[in-house]
Amino acid sequence: MVFGKNVLIYDLDETLYKKSEEFADILDKTMAEALVYDLGLDMDLQKAKKLVTESYKIYRDGGEIFYQQYGIEPRDLFIAYHRRKPVEKIVPYDNLIEKIKKIPAEQYIFTASDRYASEKILKHLGLYEFFKNRYFSVEDFGVFKKNEDSQVYKDFCKKIKVNPQDVVFVDDSYSNLEYAKEAGMTTVRIYYKNNSAKDKKYIDYAFKGIESFLNAVLKSEAA
Ligand SMILES: [Mg+2]
């Protein structure tokens, strides 16, 4: 059990690996390239990249400004961006799989990456074999985000045949946790620099990095 629950669902990006500032910058550039080269956005690449960064800051979504102001379809950007995502530049944690294997709960992943990118990321992190039939993408539920509605969290639970009340959901993005909580889950936020969302009522627990969460569970502090 983890916090008295028998199911644990992790977010993937920036939860099961840490995004360096350098990698964040590469991802913004990648999204700009997808917009300009793949989707034909008539804009200078540098300007597009700046807008991606700005959009992420305002909306927690690098594409939002382009959906609202430039007629870009979320689905098109979702696919083009994930095709280009440079997963080989992610630096995996050491021995994460050994810790995950010891966690006393049924474990799953729910990611806002598409299936193509998430498979590549899981293989790169050495987590693919363990999570092979236990990872799902938003696209499996016909959506592109998991911070808009609690329905997708309920649908996820239906798919794995568990009750949301029996689930601990772990994510670095607090905008996702709001809806996981609304669905009835216990929520854990992973933060890096400082715990910037500690005032949010829908966050039950917060840990600095996934390793400190896993260590706490393994030490039974959280069991
Ligand atoms: Mg994330």
pTM flag (> 0.85): yes
How much distance in Å is there from the Cα of 170 to the middle of ligand 1? Answer: 9
- Ligand 1 center from residue 110 Cα (angstroms): 10
CA of 70 to the centre of ligand 1 (A): 25
What is the number of other CB atoms lying within 10 angstroms of the CB of residue 206? 19
> How high does pLDDT run on average in the chain?
95
For residue 50, the model assigns a pLDDT of 98
Q: What is the pLDDT of residue 26?
A: 95
Domain boundaries, the chain: 7-18+90-218, 21-88
Q: How far apart are the first and last CA of the chain?
A: 6
Q: What is the CATH number assigned to the segment(s) 7-18+90-218?
A: 3.40.50.1000
Q: How far is the CA of 161 from the centre of ligand 1 (A)?
A: 24
The 10s digit of each residue's pLDDT in 65-101 is 999 999 999 999 999 999 999 999 999 999 999 999 9
Element (DSSP H or E) covering residue 7: strand 7-10
pLDDT classification of 198: cutoffs 50, 70, 90: confident
Q: What Å distances lie between residue 25 and 9, 89, 207, CA to CA?
A: 27, 12, 24
